[in-house]
Amino acid sequence: MSTTTTTTISSGHEGTIRDQVKNYFVRVKSGEMGALPSVISLIFLTALFASLNPYFLTKLNFANLLVQSATLMMLSMALVFVILIAEIDLSAGVTSGLSMAFFIILTNKAGWDWRVSILAGFVVGFVVGSFIGFFVAKVGVPSFVVTLGLFLGFQGLQLALLGDGGIYRVEVPELKSIMNDNMPQWAGWLMLGIFLTLTLLINFYDRMRRKKSNLPNRPLILLFIKLGVMAGLGAGCVSILNVNRSLSAIAIAGVPIVMPFAITILFVGTLVLDRTRFGRHLYAVGGNPEAARRAGIKVPKIRMSAFIICSMLSVVAGIFNASRIGTVEATAGKSMVLSGVAAAVVGGVSLFGGRGRLAHAAVGAVVISIIDNGLGLLGLPAGINFLVTGGVLILAATVDAVSRKRAGATK
């Protein structure tokens, strides 16, 4: 077995662009598809709906679609944290509703400052997350059961707080503008510039550090291609959104205010998952909890944190939802959670745990929203929408299961 030729161990960073592209296809073939299926379906669905209804590709609908998907995007990104450790939070939707119920009661009825009420909403999220985390991580109750219980219980709590059929108007202009107003034109470009610069800086920092450790770097051109694509897509979106899209005399233009919020959370969350010890341990617990435990990782603590983060981010989804609808009612958030799970899974986050990224959930949320939006435009009965979304979820979960098997088979 011992050959005399010394082959050095590579890092996957060496070689030309051609090698890198080849590596990528090898990974895809072995089942590491990431967001690829969802990006393909994104393109396919866009083409499909655009050909079926001319309104689909209008500037106004594009902006609507973005805003519509923002809530789902937040919820599915929240769920990523628990799905990564192979758990589920079926109460994420009603948690977002419950936190907003507290918010609206405190603001409208108790007359609290709205900022303090928002904070109270986050406290609700924190308490709910800790509660779930305690029962799952410390007591050992399956998360499916705990959160299903809360899913039912919180609907009751929302009813108790807001009253049967109770509906409250959001009276805070700052809050309403998140989903309903747009940034000035220049701010959209500034936002794009900031995120591109940050991405560039982080990549250069990484390359510099690798070089210092005498490790090979991927061809620089690859980074520029990646950034070029990001810049191109970003600039396309910003310029479309910056043109007046109103159908009436009052102009509507600019990037919706919700976008910088959503992108910042995506950006920071990704940094946490990719670059901190906590993120690494979260993936480890999702991949093999016993191995994580033996490596000295405090698995219950990681599980607790995942549920707390999920519930807190669900509160953000609640804020987005309340802002868009302009009201809070007892049934808020109830129907959202399965779409959130669907979005994450469609985007390529594995229900088996340990695999997936926030960006996957974000893309998945856009896919689910496109289905919703596109079918709505076709004027089909509402039931069709559920059928299609459900079908897509099962399809995505099947792709997940099959690709997982394939990855195992290459041993």
Q: What's the angle, vertex CA 82, arms to CA 313 and CA 86, rounded to 5?
A: 170
Which of 382, 360, 356, 357 has its CA nearest to residue 371? 382
Report if residue 11 touches other proteins, rule: CB under 8 A: yes
Residue of the chain from 30, 64, 185, 199 that contacts other proteins (CB under 8 A): 30
Report if residue 355 touches other proteins, rule: CB under 8 A: yes
Report if residue 222 touches other proteins, rule: CB under 8 A: no
* Cα–Cα dist 389/392, whole Å: 5
Nearer to other proteins by C-beta: 13 or 176?
A: 13
Nearer to other proteins by C-beta: 185 or 217?
A: 217
335 contacts 93 by C-beta, under 8 angstroms: yes
Report if residue 193 touches other proteins, rule: CB under 8 A: no
Report if residue 357 touches other proteins, rule: CB under 8 A: no
Report if residue 276 touches other proteins, rule: CB under 8 A: yes
Q: Which residues contact 56 (CB under 8 A, 6 or more apart)?
A: 46, 49, 50, 373, 374, 377
Residue of the chain from 45, 183, 297, 302 that contacts other proteins (CB under 8 A): 297
* Cα–Cα dist 74/326, whole Å: 18
Which of 287, 370, 314, 261 has its CA nearest to residue 93? 314
45 contacts 367 by C-beta, under 8 angstroms: yes
Number of Cβ within a 10 Å radius of residue 332? 26
Least gap, CB of 291 to other proteins (angstroms): 4
Nearer to other proteins by C-beta: 231 or 299?
A: 299
Nearer to other proteins by C-beta: 171 or 274?
A: 274
φ, ψ for residue 220 (rounded to 5)? -60, -35
**Applying CB under 8 A, which part among 7-15, 51-59, 147-155, 385-393 lies near other proteins?**
7-15
Report if residue 8 touches other proteins, rule: CB under 8 A: yes
Nearer to other proteins by C-beta: 4 or 248?
A: 4
Nearer to other proteins by C-beta: 281 or 360?
A: 281
Task: For the chain, give the number of residues.
Answer: 411
Residue count at the site for other proteins (CB under 8 A)?
A: 45
Report if residue 212 touches other proteins, rule: CB under 8 A: yes
Report if residue 290 touches other proteins, rule: CB under 8 A: yes
Report if residue 410 touches other proteins, rule: CB under 8 A: yes
**Applying CB under 8 A, which part among 109-117, 177-185, 269-277, 370-378 lies near other proteins?**
269-277
Residue of the chain from 40, 215, 220, 401 that contacts other proteins (CB under 8 A): 215
329 contacts 341 by C-beta, under 8 angstroms: no
Nearer to other proteins by C-beta: 397 or 407?
A: 407
φ, ψ for residue 169 (rounded to 5)? -85, 140
Number of Cβ within a 10 Å radius of residue 349? 30
Report if residue 301 touches other proteins, rule: CB under 8 A: no
Amino acid at site 26: V
Dihedral, 284, 286, 290, 295 alpha carbons, nearest 10: 10
Helices 337-347 and 358-377: crossing angle, nearest 10°? 120
Report if residue 408 touches other proteins, rule: CB under 8 A: yes
Report if residue 296 touches other proteins, rule: CB under 8 A: yes
Q: What's the angle, vertex CA 191, arms to CA 189 and CA 195, rounded to 5?
A: 120
Residue of the chain from 25, 214, 250, 381 that contacts other proteins (CB under 8 A): 214
Binding footprint of other proteins on the chain (CB under 8 A): 1-3, 6-13, 30, 32, 206, 209-210, 212-215, 271, 275-277, 280-281, 283-284, 286-288, 290-292, 294-297, 353-355, 407-408, 410-411
